[in-house]
Amino acid sequence: MTGGELQMVREYLGLSGDALAGMLQVNPRTLRSWESGREPIPERVRLEVEQVEDDTARAVGELVAALCDMRDPAVVVYRSDADLHAARPDAAHLTARWWRQVAARACEEVPGVLVGTADELGAR
């Protein structure tokens, strides 16, 4: 994995450098060093990033399936990590930005999805 590929994948996943560094349990400076090409990327990092990619694709697929089963498809997005973690404790290692990316990718596949925060969707 090259630094450019790591940065591209990180951004595609909707993760900040700090968020991915936290998931990989490395210092954010280390991640920046890898992305800039100053330091080689360890094989374990490539494998862990591939796992995050797989988990993200699975989340998109599950959300698409759920939206397809809804009469009036809607997806809740979260403005902050705290909001995401409060609503979905299973996603405590992920960010609200990541979830918004998952939702955006799912909405590309399912037309007519209403998107909003829980407050916005509860008010409809």
Tokens representing 123 are 């008010």
64-106: per-residue pLDDT in tens? 999 999 999 999 999 999 999 999 999 888 999 999 999 999 9
Residues contacting residue 108 through CB under 8 Å, at least 6 positions apart = none
Q: How confident is the model at residue 112 (pLDDT cuts 50, 70, 90)?
A: very high
Amino acid at 13: L
- The CATH number of residue 94's host domain is 1.10.3100.10
N-terminal to C-terminal alpha carbon distance within the chain: 46
How confident is the model at residue 92, as a pLDDT? 87
The whole-chain average pLDDT of the chain stands at 95
Consecutive H or E run containing 113: none
- Domains identified in the chain, total number: 1
Residue burial 2-11, b: 16+ Cβ < 10 Å; e: rest: ebeebbebbe
Q: What percentage of residues in the chain have a pLDDT greater than 90?
A: 93
Q: How far is CA 73 from CA 43, 63, 106, in A?
A: 40, 10, 11
Give this prediction's pTM: 0.87
Q: How confident is the model at residue 124 (pLDDT cuts 50, 70, 90)?
A: low
Query: Hey, is 107 helix, strand or coil?
Result: helix
Name the residue range of residue 70's domain. Answer: 3-122
Query: CA 85, CA 93: separation in Å to the nearest integer?
Result: 8
